[in-house]
Chains A and B, each alone.
Chain A
Amino acid sequence: MKAIISIKDLHKTYSSGFIALKKINLEIKAGEIFALLGPNGAGKTTLISIICGIVTPSGGTVIADGSDIISDYRTARSKIGLVPQELTTDAFETVWATVTFSRGLFGCPPNDAYIEKILRQLSLWDKKNAKIRELSGGMKRRVMIAKALSHEPTILFLDEPTAGVDVELRRDMWDMVRELRERGVTILLTTHYIEEAEEMADRIGVINNGEIILVEDKATLMSKLGKKTLIIQLQNSVASIPPLLEKYQLQLSAQGFELHYSYDMQQPENGIAQLLADLDSVNLKVKDLHSSESSLEEIFVSLVNE
């Protein structure tokens, strides 16, 4: 698939001298959901802000849907919608006014039917005449999304869209994001919720200290870096791990009723068959077996801590 956003050697030094981005190179494919993961201060918002024109880059180029974000900013920006991390809204405006304002600002002729459609989709229709300050936080977040969608962008940036949003609404948002993707909108979202990336993304990028340290298909990432744990339940408890089994680096838990064996899914030879045979030879009776996969969260933590 072709890249809809190509970022080349993008770097940013803030006027304070702080280097927020170090020569970022990244391509976002048309039509995908790309999740950018990273700890606080990694540079996620800075990256998005540069692409959207809110922060000036110190160097490098970004091409969005064929247009350079600086020299051809009009075309580039008219294709991009942004839901910023902070909930910044005009408290005294009505929902309807603020969303139509956004549409006009982005150079689109009025289209009440379209605005009505997005407000309905975001369950904001009955609030259309409410002042924004009268809305709850989750509703405000949805107003921000409605504003970002008001000019029918083909690229949508969601900077931590589900921060402070309850579980139900989060599910709704995920559904909405998927729907947008089906309509051909490319989505880049940043999140702290690994669960979100795991649930939503086609590809995942990890950013830390202003550097992209990894970009991978979600499935590949999960299997490549994923460790599996085999949990062996014993019929009788053991006080310590028999010397014969030391090479497996087992962990004892559940008051000695469980042995945990972790192994790499990439390795062709995972040692399970041998382990089971060895268990038998030291006379440990196995009651049950099951395995668990490590989550993206664990992968993420191990990456960032490297």
Chain B
Amino acid sequence: MNWYGVKAIYYFEMARSWRTMMQSLASPVLSTSLYFVVFGTAIGSRMGDIDGVSYGAFIIPGLVMLSLLSQSISNASFGIFFPKFSGTIYEVLSAPVSPFEIVLGYVGAAATKSMVIGVVTLITARLFVDYSIDHPFWMLVFLVLTSITFSLFGFMIGIWADDFQKLQIIPLMIITPLTFLGGAFYSISMLPEPWQTLTLFNPVVYLISGFRWSFYSVADVSIGLSLSMTFLFLITCLAGTYWIFKTGYRLKS
């Protein structure tokens, strides 16, 4: 293992995030606050409790997931896209680091950053609503697994994208709709059929449901299923990343 190499990539990426920390944090904090003002306070006061949880508190896990997903994807995709775009990737490719070490450095840094942002979002939420965390350990498990999985996913997007537009298109066209329709703002039991069944094909449902369970012990789908699905996504993304390096896809000509 080239630990110095992993460390170099990790710190390099963290330093890059650090330089832009204010922007990185300002935007999720601001958007979370807006969601709370609009959905939690203004609209939420007119809504009944869902599964015995006040609407303001109910949306918190979904909102944190929302910023976790989008931050993981954008950090990781940009982290690898940029050196590819600027050409500095040559150095990583010519260094004695294995694909696994490269992924560890880049994805590790992206996941760390989105976990920090997830936690900051949670703290921001606290300013608006009271909430409890019934299962802090499982909350962390979901937080960590989701950050890693979607950072891997973002990493793949960053490798696949050959222009800035492609970099934006998947988060914008696929991830955002899936998160909004994944039960961030409602319990899927509130949906009429066939939407309720269709929703079960949305992977984000399992993430949000599991995450919400760790807060309030209520869930749309069973916690075991949520956890298995989360692992399944992780394994899928790992396999995809492995394939990319095995074939040299879009990294080497």
Residues on the B chain within 8 Å of A109, using CB: 4
Is A90's CB within 8 Å of the partner chain B?
yes
Select one of A14, A80, A82, A107 contacting B4, CB under 8 A. A107
In the complex, A101→B95 CA distance in Å?
11
Q: Are B93 and A107 in contact (CB under 8 A)?
A: no
Chain B residues with CB below 8 A from A147, complex form: 91
Question: Across the interface, which residues of B come within 8 angstroms of A107, CB to CB?
Answer: 2, 4-5, 95-97
CB of A101 within 8 A of CB of B96, answer: no
Number of residues on chain B facing chain A (CB within 8 A):
26
Residues of A near B248 (CB, < 8 A) are 56
Does A141 reach chain B (CB closer than 8 Å)? no
A248 at the B interface (CB under 8 A): no
State whether B253 touches A105 (Cβ < 8 A). no
**Cα–Cα, bound, A254→B30 (Å):** 81
Question: Which residues on the B side are within 8 Å of A84 (C-beta)?
Answer: 87, 90
Q: How far does the alpha carbon of A74 sit from the alpha carbon of B4 in the complex, in Å?
A: 13
A101 and B8: CB pair below 8 A? yes
Q: Which positions 77-105 of chain A face chain B at CB distance < 8 Å?
A: 77-78, 80, 82, 84, 86, 88-92, 97, 100-105
Contacts of B90 in A (CB 8 A): 52, 54, 82, 84, 88
B4 touches A55 (CB 8 A): no
Flag if B88 contacts A105 (CB, 8 Å): no
* Known contacts A90-B86, A92-B19; A77 and B5 CB within 8 A of each other: no
Please determine whether A80 and B19 come into contact, CB atoms closer than 8 angstroms: no
Is the pair A105, B97 in contact by a Cβ cutoff of 8 Å?
A: yes
Q: Does A302 contact B (CB under 8 A)?
A: no
Measured between beta carbons, the chain B residues less than 8 angstroms from A263 are: none
A176: chain B residues at CB < 8 Å are none
Q: Considering the complex, which residues of chain B in the window 89-109 have a beta carbon less than 8 Å from any beta carbon of chain A?
A: 90-98
Q: Give chain A nearest CB distance to B106 CB in angstroms.
A: 12
Please tell me if the beta carbons of A53 and B93 are within 8 angstroms of each other in the complex. yes
Residue B46 CB within 8 A of the other chain: no
Q: How far is the CA of A73 from the CA of B92 in the complex (A)?
A: 13
Q: How far is the CA of A107 from the CA of B5 in the complex (A)?
A: 5
* A240 contacts the other chain (CB 8 A): no
Residue of A nearest to B93 (CB): A54
Q: Which of A84, A91, A107 has most B Cβ within 10 Å?
A: A107
- Interface flag for B156 (CB, 8 Å): no
Q: Cβ of A78 and Cβ of B96 under 8 Å apart?
A: yes
* A52-B252 Cα distance, complex, nearest whole Å: 12
Say if the beta carbon of B9 comes within 8 Å of chain A. yes
Q: Considering the complex, give the chain A residue whose CB is closest to the CB of B105.
A: A105
Residue of B nearest to A108 (CB): B4
Q: How far is the CA of A14 from the CA of B253 in the complex (A)?
A: 7
Which chain A residues (139-173) contact chain B, with CB distance < 8 Å?
147
Instruction: Kindly list chain A residues whose C-beta atoms are within 8 Å of the C-beta of B12.
Output: 97, 101
- Tell yes or no: B15 within 8 A of A by CB: yes
Q: Please tell me if the beta carbons of A55 and B15 are within 8 angstroms of each other in the complex.
A: no
Which B residues are CB-close (under 8 A) to A76?
A: 96
CB distance from B59 to the nearest CB of A (A): 37
Asked whether A90 lies within 8 Å of B252 as measured between CB atoms, the reply is: no
A104 touches B15 (CB 8 A): no
Distance in angstroms from A77 CB to nearest chain B CB is: 4
- Chain A residues whose C-beta falls within 8 Å of the C-beta of B9 in the assembled complex: 105
CB atoms of A105 and B252 under 8 A apart: no
Closest CB of chain B to A154's CB: distance in Å? 14
Task: Contact check, B91 vs A53: say whether CB atoms are below 8 A apart.
Answer: no
How far, in whole Å, are A157 and B253 apart by their CA atoms in the complex?
19
Q: List, in ascending order, chain B residues with CB within 8 A of A108's CB.
A: 4
A90 touching B4, Cβ below 8 Å: no
Q: Given contacts A52-B93, A77-B94, A80-B94, could you give 4 more A-B pairs where the C-beta distance is less than 8 Å?
A: A53-B93, A82-B90, A105-B92, A107-B97
- 14 A-B pairs in the complex with CB atoms less than 8 angstroms apart: A52-B90, A52-B93, A54-B252, A56-B248, A76-B96, A78-B96, A88-B86, A90-B88, A91-B86, A103-B4, A103-B8, A104-B11, A105-B4, A107-B96
Q: Which residues of A contact B (CB under 8 A)?
A: 14-15, 52-56, 73-78, 80, 82, 84, 86, 88-92, 97, 100-109, 147
- Of all A-B residue pairs in the complex, the 3 with the closest CB atoms, nearest first, are A104-B8, A88-B87, A52-B94
